[in-house]
Structure 1
């Protein structure tokens, strides 16, 4: 995910969090990652305590984080969620 985000991967992770996660304020939480959408559903948000990912229409995305290692840890969480049964 360093150079380009795979839309299918992100949407798969989002769905797994919605299916397996607990309902929390405005979204779902699973394995430390919160997933929610904006009011019209066109933008997907995935976030933990240190990283926010905004993934939207036409596969546009933006990561918000302070340190590269935070992003690496976030990517590992997303990969683990994608492989969860």
Structure 2
């Protein structure tokens, strides 16, 4: 798997998680978790974060993003989770 994720998938997953997920306590206000993926934003809402136990994704302006993961398998599983969330929650 390449380090390429569709920006639309990221934004749709973020919206589904914050809408349908449970609010979780943390250092950051309004963190939500759904299907093992946590979503939150920075204080001004311009940078969005999605993460699970093995992958961290940060996305910002102009469809730029940064991925942090150890194995391709972890990234593949993370992308599958995002696709599942987007297709399963309305």
> Per chain length, whose mean CA-contact separation is higher, i.e. which structure has more relative contact order (CA < 8 Å, sep 6+)?
2
Mapped pair 1:19 → 2:23 = no
Change (3 A) 1:69 1:4: closer
Q: Which residue matches 1:4?
A: 4
2:84 and 2:11 map into 1 onto residues whose CA distance is: 14
- The counterpart of 1:47, out of the listed 51, 62, 66, is 51
Change (3 A) 1:64 1:3: closer
Structure 2 gaps of 5+ residues are: none
Residues paired across the two proteins, number: 85
Q: Normalising by the residue count of structure 2, what TM-score does the alignment of the two structures yield?
A: 0.87
1:5 to partner: Cα distance? 2.7
